[in-house]
């Protein structure tokens, strides 16, 4: 292992090269472009180890990955924002077809108007497509999570989206511990999942079905995805034995006696983690896995620490309902006996989270309710 | 929490300020610091104003927000002027400008009577031309500015800047090494123009 200075996007691309990829199909879009560029450079130097397919659109990119994965190949694509939205139909198809593709989405606002800032609404609007989603807080997590995502996806035969913020991670250069190919090989071997399509053996796949058969498939997919936390734990054990780094589905720091915790996914969680020693007796829950949603674990952690209030950092907004992480948390807490209050901090548009905003939301003004949802602009 | 050192770099697309930020981050990493270099831009294009940031700390954990109160503001292009350049610059901070004599006059425009930071200049454009570092008519000042940044901050030695340049720059290595060295040696303090 060696420390190297690289951006979050480069970390994703290097992880894909190290994991032993059979096929990359991708189309450039800011802020994800450096992933495609880095992989194309590997291809140009003959170091990719698999096939690089230049496609005419994101729709084609994912369709190409689907075709490859249907033959049992390990496939990768990356996109952002409008590119992800353009893939939408195939995103559903891949999970229904149970192909273990890994895709990176670098968060970027979806227009109109055009914007490059890292609103999470692109990946969150794919919440119900049957893909697992893991949110990363730094370039090291990006590198490691891409490796773990392949192990998880191939074990469960479900596709997995690895998500991180544009610019704050994708364009940030930092030193990370980069595992060599041999180390990665010890963690994950070549893909061993069964091919649905075998060249030379004609047939049809995913032919027309009816409601009840579909229901059974949907139930199976749902129940399979609910196994992800347990499977992740096994995978992570193997990973940490080899790499010396370990991850959790939800990663929390709750000081003894802390009554208020922030819940954040992605790069904002790192800002909160850094700020904790300066914020009076406050904790953090970093939500890493969003699909499946770790409702049970969240309830256990909040109950075990007698948390009274959760402030959710939502760099997104579902118009007409509010921040999406807060919605999901509130829904999970419905089954709790004494649920904590939930306050939403909405940073839609990819607004920067600063220390001053964290301080301000903890001390409401004299006329403000303690749990009134707050928009980022009102915390400046 | 450990002390952090924060830099904000102002330049134009094509001047290599994003690359400069990553070279600086690598050099201070070689010194034993953690560092992060990142940039903000719209759709990148040559000539448009670009802002890059560097955060340096002994602690790996740092905030992942933009930098609003920098310890150092570094101006790569003296045609970028205006009060936004020095926005948030700490009183005990330093403004480093690529400038010869003509820039000293421009400074008056952005200095208020309450500003207490130090001002340093290095004639990076002239040094870049001298070493034939240019793309067409566009002088590549970034390695000169890196030398000056290393010197005024004391966060990295010239040797580590050179190691980092060798690793991250592919063209005109010798000229860039001469440029970083001259930037390191020729940065000078400007006498305060207002009291």
Residue A274 to residue B62, Cβ atoms within 8 A: yes
Residue in the block written with tokens 């091919």? A195
Whether residues A341 and A293 fall in one domain: yes
Count of beta carbons in the 10 Å neighbourhood of residue A22: 18
* B37 touching chain A per CB within 8 A: yes
Summarised one tens digit per residue, pLDDT across range B120-158 is 999 999 999 999 999 888 899 999 999 999 999 999 999
Which residues are within 8 A (CB) of A50 and not within 5 positions of it... i.e. 6 or more apart?
A20, A21, A22, A23, A24, A73, A74
CA distance B83 to B93: 16
- Out of B34, B41, B64, name the one closest to residue A175 (CB): B34
Q: Does residue A200 sit within a domain?
A: no
- For chain B, positions 50-79, list CB contacts with chain A under 8 A: 61-66, 68
- Out of A3, A175, A275, name the one closest to residue B63 (CB): A275
CATH code for the domain in which residue A46 is found = 3.40.50.970
CA distance A344 to A263: 10
Q: Does residue A196 sit within a domain?
A: no
* List of domains in chain B: 4-189 (3.40.920.10)
- Out of A30, A270, A278, name the one closest to residue B64 (CB): A270
Give the least confident one: A312-326, A343-357, A362-376: A362-376
Residue B63 to residue A274, Cβ atoms within 8 A: yes
CA distance B171 to A127: 46
CATH code for the domain in which residue A357 is found = 3.40.50.920
Q: Which residues of B77-96 are buried (b: 16+ CB within 10 A; e: fewer)?
A: bbebeeeebbeebeeebbbb
Whether residues A263 and A337 fall in one domain: yes
- Paired with A310 in beta bridges are A261, A342
CA angle B35, A162, A351 (to 5 degrees): 60
Chain B residues in contact with A354 (beta carbon < 8 A): 63, 65-66, 68
State the pLDDT confidence band at B52, using cuts at 50, 70 and 90.
very high
- Out of B26, B36, B66, name the one closest to residue A352 (CB): B66
Give the least confident one: A264-278, B25-39, B47-61: B47-61
- Residue B74: enclosing H or E segment and its boundaries? strand B72-75
Which stretches within A19-57 are classed as H helix? 33-44
Residue A172 to residue B64, Cβ atoms within 8 A: yes
- For chain B, positions 4-33, list CB contacts with chain A under 8 A: 21-22, 25-26, 29
Return the structure tokens found at B32. Answer: 């034993």
- Out of A3, A137, A172, name the one closest to residue B38 (CB): A172
Q: For the residues A7-31, what does the mean pLDDT come to?
A: 97
Q: For the residues A156-180, what does the mean pLDDT come to?
A: 97
DSSP string, A273-309: HHHGGGSTTEEEEEE-EEES--HHHHHHHHHHTT--E
Contact A282, A235 (CB under 8 A): no
Whether residues A36 and A104 fall in one domain: yes
Residue B64 to residue A138, Cβ atoms within 8 A: yes
CA distance A149 to A247: 12
pLDDT at B111: 64
pLDDT at B100: 76
Whether residues A35 and A94 fall in one domain: yes
Chain B residues in contact with A138 (beta carbon < 8 A): 64
Interface ipTM? 0.92
CA distance A293 to A286: 13
- Residue A230: pLDDT over 60: yes
| Percentage of chain A exceeding pLDDT 70 | 100
- Residue B194: pLDDT over 70: no
- Out of A116, A169, A268, name the one closest to residue B42 (CB): A116
**CB pairs < 8 Å spanning A and B:** 68
* Mean pLDDT over each residue of chain A, to the nearest integer: 96
State the pLDDT confidence band at B99, using cuts at 50, 70 and 90.
confident
Q: Does residue A282 sit within a domain?
A: yes
- Minimal CA separation from A215 to chain B, in Å: 43
Which of A243, A262, A288 represents a domain boundary (last residue)?
A243
State the pLDDT confidence band at B101, using cuts at 50, 70 and 90.
low
Closest residue in chain A to residue B38, using alpha carbons only: A172
Closest residue in chain B to residue A116, using alpha carbons only: B42
- Residue B43: pLDDT over 60: no
Whether residues A82 and A220 fall in one domain: yes
Whether residues A233 and A333 fall in one domain: no
Pairing of strands A282-287, A341-346: unpaired
Best mutation target, A7, A168, A173, to test chain B (most B CBs within 10 A): A173
pLDDT at B1: 47
Nearest to B100 by CA among B132, B78, B75: B78
Nearest to A80 by CA among A25, A114, A33: A33
* Boundaries of domain holding A142: 2-189+209-243
Residue in the block written with tokens 């690895």? A162
Q: Does residue A123 sit within a domain?
A: yes
Residue in the block written with tokens 């006329």? A367
Query: What 3-state DSSP class applies to A17?
Result: helix
Return the structure tokens found at A155. Answer: 């074990």
Q: Does residue A204 sit within a domain?
A: no
Contact B160, B147 (CB under 8 A): no
Whether residues A331 and A239 fall in one domain: no
Contact A269, A276 (CB under 8 A): no
- For chain A, positions 160-199, list CB contacts with chain B under 8 A: 165, 167-169, 171-175
Which stretches within A8-135 are classed as H helix? 8-18, 33-44, 58-70, 81-86, 88-96, 121-124
Nearest to A353 by CA among B42, B68, B87, B5: B68
Answer with the residue of higher pLDDT: B82 or A320. A320
pLDDT at B195: 44
pLDDT at B15: 84
Closest residue in chain A to residue B59, using alpha carbons only: A274
Summarised one tens digit per residue, pLDDT across range A268-294 is 999 999 999 999 899 999 999 999 999
Whether residues A183 and A279 fall in one domain: no
* B36 touching chain A per CB within 8 A: yes
DSSP string, A57-69: SHHHHHHHHHHHH
Domain count, chain A: 2
Whether residues A234 and A278 fall in one domain: no
Q: Does residue A201 sit within a domain?
A: no
Chain A residues in contact with B39 (beta carbon < 8 A): 167, 171
Cis before B12? omega within 30: no
Nearest to A58 by CA among A97, A32, A40: A32
Residue B61 to residue A175, Cβ atoms within 8 A: no
Q: For the residues A111-121, what does the mean pLDDT come to?
A: 96
Whether residues A154 and A274 fall in one domain: no
CA distance B89 to B74: 11
CA distance A365 to A376: 15
Q: Does residue A372 sit within a domain?
A: yes
Query: What 3-state DSSP class applies to A375?
Result: strand
Which residues are within 8 A (CB) of A308 and not within 5 positions of it... i.e. 6 or more apart?
A259, A260, A340, A341
Whether residues A216 and A279 fall in one domain: no
Contact A132, A289 (CB under 8 A): yes
Query: What 3-state DSSP class applies to B54?
Result: strand
Residue A167 to residue B38, Cβ atoms within 8 A: yes
Best mutation target, B63, B167, B169, to test chain A (most A CBs within 10 A): B63
Whether residues A258 and A323 fall in one domain: yes
CA–centroid distance for A219 within its chain: 23
Query: What is the C-alpha R_g of chain B?
Result: 15
State the pLDDT confidence band at A119, using cuts at 50, 70 and 90.
very high
Best mutation target, A111, A118, A137, A172, to test chain B (most B CBs within 10 A): A172
Best mutation target, A118, A274, A355, A359, to test chain B (most B CBs within 10 A): A274
Highest mean pLDDT among A204-208, A265-269, B105-109: A265-269
């Amino acid at each position: 292992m060696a420390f190297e200075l690289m951006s979050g996007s480069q970390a994703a691309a290097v992880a894909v090269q190290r994991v032993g990829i059979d096929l990359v199909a991708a189309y450039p879009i800011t802020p994800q472009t450096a992933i495609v560029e880095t992989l194309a450079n590997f291809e140009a130097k003959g170091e990719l180890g698999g096939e690089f397919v230049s496609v005419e659109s994101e729709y084609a990119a994912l369709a190409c990955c689907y075709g490859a994965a249907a033959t049992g190949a390990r496939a990768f694509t990356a996109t952002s924002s409008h590119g992800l939205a353009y893939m939408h139909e195939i995103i559903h198809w891949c999970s229904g077809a149970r192909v273990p593709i890994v895709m990176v989405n670098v968060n970027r606002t979806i227009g109109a108007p055009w914007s490059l800032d890292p609103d999470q609404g692109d990946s969150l609007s794919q919440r119900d497509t049957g893909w697992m989603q893991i949110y990363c807080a730094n370039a090291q997590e990006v590198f490691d999570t891409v490796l773990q995502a392949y192990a998880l996806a191939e074990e469960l035969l479900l596709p997995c989206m690895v998500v991180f913020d544009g610019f704050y991670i994708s364009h940030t250069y930092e030193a990370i511990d980069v595992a060599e190919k041999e180390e990665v090989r010890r963690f994950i071997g070549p893909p061993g999942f069964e091919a649905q399509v075998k060249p030379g053996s004609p047939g049809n796949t995913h032919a027309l079905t009816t409601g009840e058969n579909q229901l059974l498939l949907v139930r199976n997919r749902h129940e399979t995805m609910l196994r992800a936390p347990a499977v992740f734990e096994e995978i992570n054990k193997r990973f940490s034995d080899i790499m010396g780094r370990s991850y959790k589905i939800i990663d929390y720091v709750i000081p003894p006696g802390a009554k208020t915790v922030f819940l954040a996914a992605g790069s904002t969680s790192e800002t909160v983690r850094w700020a904790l020693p300066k914020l009076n007796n406050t904790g953090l829950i970093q939500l890493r896995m969003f699909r499946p949603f770790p409702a049970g674990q969240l309830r256990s952690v909040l109950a075990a620490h007698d948390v009274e209030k959760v402030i959710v950092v939502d760099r997104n907004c579902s118009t007409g309902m509010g921040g999406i992480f807060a919605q999901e948390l509130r829904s999970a807490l419905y089954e709790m006996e004494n649920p904590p209050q939930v306050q939403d901090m909405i940073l839609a548009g990819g607004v920067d989270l600063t220390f001053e905003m964290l301080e301000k939301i903890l001390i409401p003004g004299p006329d403000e309710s303690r749990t009134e949802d707050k928009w980022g602009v009102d915390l400046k | 929490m450990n002390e952090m050192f924060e830099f904000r770099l102002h330049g134009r697309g094509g001047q290599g300020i994003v690359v400069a930020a990553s070279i600086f981050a690598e050099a201070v990493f070689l010194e034993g610091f953690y560092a992060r270099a990142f940039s903000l831009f719209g759709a990148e294009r040559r000539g448009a104003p670009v802002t890059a940031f560097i955060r340096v700390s002994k602690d790996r954990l740092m905030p992942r927000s933009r930098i609003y109160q920098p310890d150092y503001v570094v101006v790569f292009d003296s045609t970028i002027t205006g009060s936004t350049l020095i926005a948030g610059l700490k009183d005990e901070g330093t403004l480093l400008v690529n400038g010869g004599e003509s820039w000293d006059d421009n400074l008056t425009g952005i200095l208020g009577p309450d500003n207490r930071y130090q001002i340093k200049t290095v004639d990076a454009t002239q040094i870049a031309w001298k070493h034939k570092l240019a793309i067409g008519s566009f002088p590549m000042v970034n390695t000169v500015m890196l030398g000056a940044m290393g010197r005024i901050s004391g966060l990295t030695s010239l040797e580590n800047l050179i190691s980092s340049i060798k690793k991250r720059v592919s063209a005109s290595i010798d000229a860039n090494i001469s440029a970083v060295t001259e930037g390191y040696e020729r940065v000078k303090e400007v006498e305060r123009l207002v009291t």
